[in-house]
Amino acid sequence: DAGVIQSPRHEVTEMGQEVTLRCKPISGHNSLFWYRQTMMRGLELLIYFNNNVPIDDSGMPEDRFSAKMPNASFSTLKIQPSEPRDSAVYFCASRLQGNTEAFFGQGTRLTVV
């Protein structure tokens, strides 16, 4: 298995633009997590899905952030409009529900200028 695949690896965008981050979880995994990592706040859980259903989105910072999981093999995290303070590394992770660990993608480094 290729592991959790995130795209793009790097994204530079101007303030006000829409940004879409993509994630393909490991096949067969039915939980998916989106995290944001910054120096100031560390690794924050933004939202997670079980069986494609959002379970807890309390970590989503603002209405500008939205996440979808239209099927078991794809999820998106969208920021619209983007702001410089959204600059961070965004990680996607997946796991089997139950007694298992999460597997992380390589992350998307987002820079909003």
Partner 1 sequence: AQSVTQPDIHITVSEGASLELRCNYSYGATPYLFWYVQSPGQGLQLLLKYFSGDTLVQGIKGFEAEFKRSQSSFNLRKPSVHWSDAAEYFCAVGEGNNDMRFGAGTRLTVKP
Residues that bind partner 1 (CB under 8 A): 4, 31, 33, 35, 42-43, 45, 48, 50, 55-56, 91, 93, 97-99, 101-107
Q: How many residues does the chain have?
A: 113
| E strand or H helix at 54 | strand 53-56
Least distance in angstroms from the C-beta of 109 to partner 1: 8
Task: Return the sign of the alpha-carbon dihedral for residues 87, 32, 51, 26.
Answer: positive
Residue placing its CB nearer to partner 1 in the complex, 33 or 65: 33
Least distance in angstroms from the C-beta of 96 to partner 1: 10
Residue placing its CB nearer to partner 1 in the complex, 37 or 81: 37
The answer to whether the CB of 90 falls within 8 A of the CB of 110 is yes
